[in-house]
């Protein structure tokens, strides 16, 4: 089985802040939070995990009921912000996807902290949703390592019975992406096209660190071996 799992924000695309604006709007509408705490980092985390940290920061009980209220409000606002914020598909992404598809035996999936509905809205907005057959998403687990395990299970289901060697690549823009690649025994590709400093990414010790995804030789080589 040959599988390439992609993070979304900072790896495939930048939304120009649409996700964060939709988070802030949802907290304002549902919980009367005028301004989101800046103490809670977003990068490399799951939406469930970010929401839990924001609930705590603003004294809101972290209940399933509050999560569901947040989720509905967030997803309802995201598309408007995507249209308003512009954003972009990152360099090399389309070509890398085309090259992987051309290899014929590589399955493309998502490994993201985004809730599935948000992943679909973001990738649909940039014309990329149809390129991915399965994924692990941020509404299933707060912890990214658990999302990685789910994504790998889905890859195996999607692929069907296989006798050959398994080669899995995880591509992401934060140290958490590298860590969750390790958690499932995958080859870790780090790309500093999000908001994480290149030195911080290097310190996470990925198998390969590229400037952006136009530099995809190592990925293709690993999956072709």
Q: Which is nearer to Mg ion, 60 or 147 (CB)?
A: 147
Q: Is 47 in the site for Mg ion (CB under 5 A)?
A: no
* Closest to 147 measured CA to CA, from 109, 203, 106: 109
Strands 2-6 and 106-111: parallel
CB of 35 to Mg ion, least distance (A): 24
Q: Is 7 in the site for Mg ion (CB under 5 A)?
A: yes
CB nearer to Mg ion: pick between 3 and 176 = 176
Region of 5-13, 70-78, 129-137, 184-192 interacting with Mg ion (CB under 5 A): 5-13
Count of helices and strands (H, E) across the chain: 9, 8
Residue 173 within binding range of Mg ion, rule CB under 5 A: yes
Size of residue set near Mg ion by CB under 5 A: 5
Read off the tokens for 61.
Answer: 């009980």
Q: For residue 9, state whether it binds Mg ion (rule: CB under 5 A).
A: yes
Distance CA 104, CA 91 (A): 23
CB of 154 to Mg ion, least distance (A): 19
Contact 105, 62 (CB under 8 A): no
In the complex with Mg ion, which residue's Cβ is closer, 3 or 114? 114
Asked if 122 and 53 touch (Cβ cutoff 8 Å), the reply is: no
Pairing status of strand 13-14 against strand 88-89: antiparallel
In the block, tokens 């999000």 appear at 194
Taking the C-alpha atoms of residue 166 and residue 186, their distance in angstroms, rounded to an integer, is 9
For the CB of residue 224, give the shortest distance to Mg ion in the complex, in Å: 26
Return the range that interacts with Mg ion (CB under 5 A); candidates 128-136, 146-154, 166-174, 180-188: 166-174
Instruction: Please say whether the beta carbons of 69 and 109 come within 8 A.
Output: no
Site for Mg ion in 100-119 (CB under 5 A): none
Q: Which stretch binds Mg ion (CB under 5 A): 1-9, 62-70, 198-206, 215-223?
A: 1-9
The site string for Mg ion over 185-214 (x = CB under 5 A, - otherwise) reads ---------x--------------------
**Does position 175 bind Mg ion by CB under 5 A?**
no
Least separation, in Å, of the C-beta of 44 and Mg ion? Answer: 6
Spatial CB neighbours of 18, under 8 Å, sequence gap ≥ 6: 78, 81, 82, 84, 85, 87, 122
Per CB under 5 A, residues contacting Mg ion are 7, 9-10, 173, 194
């Amino acid at each position: 089985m040959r599988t390439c799992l992609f993070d979304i924000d900072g790896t495939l695309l930048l939304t120009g802040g649409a996700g964060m604006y939709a988070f802030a709007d949802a907290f304002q509408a549902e919980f009367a939070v005028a301004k989101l705490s800046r103490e809670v980092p977003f990068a490399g985390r799951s939406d469930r995990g970010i929401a839990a940290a924001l609930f705590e920061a603003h004294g809101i009980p972290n209940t399933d009921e509050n999560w569901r209220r947040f989720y509905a409000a967030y997803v309802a606002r995201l598309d408007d912000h995507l249209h308003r914020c512009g954003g972009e598909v990152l360099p090399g992404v389309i070509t890398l996807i085309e090259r992987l598809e051309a290899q014929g035996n590589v399955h493309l999936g998502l490994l993201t902290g985004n809730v599935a509905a948000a992943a679909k809205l973001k990738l649909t907005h940039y014309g990329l949703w149809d390129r991915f057959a399965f994924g692990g998403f941020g509404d299933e687990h707060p912890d990214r390592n658990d999302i990685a395990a789910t994504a790998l299970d889905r890859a195996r289901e999607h692929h069907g019975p296989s006798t050959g060697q398994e080669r899995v690549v995880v591509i992401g823009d934060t140290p958490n992406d590298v860590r969750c690649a390790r958690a499932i025994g995958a080859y870790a590709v780090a790309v500093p096209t999000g908001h994480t400093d290149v030195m911080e990414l290097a310190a996470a010790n990925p198998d390969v660190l590229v400037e952006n995804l136009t530099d995809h030789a190592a990925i293709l080589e690993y999956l072709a071996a």
